[in-house]
Amino acid sequence: MEPDLISNHQSTSELCKEGDVGGDLQSPTHINPLTISVDMKSDHQVVAICPNNFPNHVTVIRATDQMKELQTYIRDVDTTRSDFRFCADRLIRMVVEEALSSLPYEGVEVTTPSGAKYQGKKFMKGGTCGVSIMRSGEAMETGLRDCCRSIRIGKILIQTDTETQEAKVFYAKFPADITNRKVLLLYPIMSSGNSVAMAIEVLKQHGVKVADVLLVSLFCTPFGLEHVTKEYPNLKILTTEIHPITPNHFGQKYFGTE
C-alpha cells in the first residue's frame, strides 16, 4: 500500500527512463539503464551517487562508519525485524537531530552554576512542526518526539493508484497555524518523488511556503531528488544516502506487514 513500494524492477526501469529525460545530472549520477540491468544480473555493486550534483538545498549527512553500518543493516535482506527496527530508529534519531540543527537559532548568554557566562544558542520555539507522510513517515515520529517532547505533528495519507501510478491524497490534518511554521516533512524513502511532490502540494494549499519545508528522509534516489528539486527549487532536503535503488521494503519491515 506504500506509495513508493513499486516492485524494484518497475522502479528501476522507471528511474532509468526518467533519469535520462532529466539531463541535468552529471556523469556520476547519470544512470544508463543498460549498465544497471547488467550490474544487477551479475550481482555487482551499484555505485553510490555523488551528492555534489544537487543544489545546495540537498544535504547528505556525513557518512560515518557507524552510519554506514546502520544503512547496511537496513539494506540486508537477512536482518531480523528486531535489529531492523533498532537500527532504523538509531538512524532516524540521527537524521532528526541533524534536521533540528538546521532550524533557526539565535545567540544567547547564560550564567552557569559557577557564576561564569556562557555564549550559546537558543532554539526559536513555537515556529516548527512535523508532518509525516503515512505510513512509513510515521516511523520517524518517535525519533522526532524523543528530541522535541511537545512538538506538533500533522499527517498526510497519500496512496498511489496501482493502475495509473498517480498519487492521491486521502487524508490530511495539520496544526491550525501551520502557515506560520517551519515544517519538517517526514518521509524515510523517496524513490519516485511522487508522494513528496503531492504532500508539498497539500502543504501549499494550507498556506505553507515551500522554502519553509525541510524534507527529512533516510534514502533518496537521484531521480526522485531530480524530480522534486526541479519542481520545488526552494525545498530543503536532508538524507543519509543517495542511491539509485532505495530499500523500498522499509515501511513493511518496520511495521511487520511483509
Partner 1 sequence: MSLTRAVSLPFGSRSSSPSDNEDEPVLLSPNLSPTKPPKSPNSRAAALQRRRLRTTSFTENVQDVIHKGKRTIYTAGRPPWYDTKGELKEAFVIGICGGSASGKTTVARKIIEALDIQWVSILSMDSFYKILSEEQHAQANASEYNFDHPDAFDVDLLVQTLKRLKSGKQVEVPMYNFTSHSREKQTKRLYGANVVIFEGILAFCDERLIELCDMKVFVDTDPDIRLARRLSRDITDRGRDLDSVLKQYMKFVKPSYDHCIAPTMRHADIIVPRGGENVVAVTLIVQHVHSQLLQRGFKLRTKLAQDDHFDSDELPKNLHILKETDQIQGIHALIRSKETTRDDFIFYSQRLMRLLIEDVMSMLPFSTVTVNTPQGFVYQGKRLDVKQIFGVSIMRAGEVMEPALCEVCKDVRIGKILIQTNMETHEPELHYLRLPKGIRGHHVILMDPTVATGAAAIMAIRVLLDHDVPEENIYLVSLIMAQQGVHSVGYAFPKVKICTTAVDKILDDNFHIIPGIGNFGDRYFGTEP
Binding site for partner 1 (CB under 8 A): 8, 39-40, 43-46, 64-69, 71-72, 75-78, 86, 90, 93-94, 97-98, 100-103, 105, 108, 110-114, 116-118, 120-123, 146-147, 149, 245-249
CB nearer to partner 1: give 26 or 101: 101
CA–CA gap between residue 255 and residue 234 (Å, rounded): 32
Closest CB to partner 1 among residues 156, 212: 212
| Least distance (Å) between residue 101 CB and partner 1 | 3
Q: Which residue, 123 or 206, has its beta carbon nearer to partner 1?
A: 123
Shortest Å, Cβ 65 to partner 1 = 4
Question: How far apart are the C-alpha atoms of 196 and 169, rounded to whole Å?
Answer: 11
CB of 74 to partner 1, least distance (A): 9
Among residues 189, 186, 243, which one has the least CA distance to residue 218? Answer: 189
- Residue whose CB is less far from partner 1, 135 or 155: 135
Minimal distance, residue 19 CB to partner 1, in Å: 16
Angle between helices 65-75 and 81-101 (to 10 degrees): 140
At residue 146's C-alpha, the angle toward residues 140 and 151, to 5°, is: 80
CA 182/CA 198 separation, integer angstroms? 18
Spatial contact of 186 and 130, defined as CB atoms under 8 Å apart? yes
**Smallest gap, in angstroms, from Cβ of residue 130 to partner 1?**
16
Say how far apart CA 100 and CA 106 lie, in whole Å. 14
Closest CB to partner 1 among residues 39, 201: 39
- The CA distances from residue 53 to 60, 62, 67, 79, in Å, are 11, 16, 22, 32
* CB of residue 212 to partner 1, shortest distance in Å: 17
Q: In terms of CB distance, is 17 or 204 closer to partner 1?
A: 17
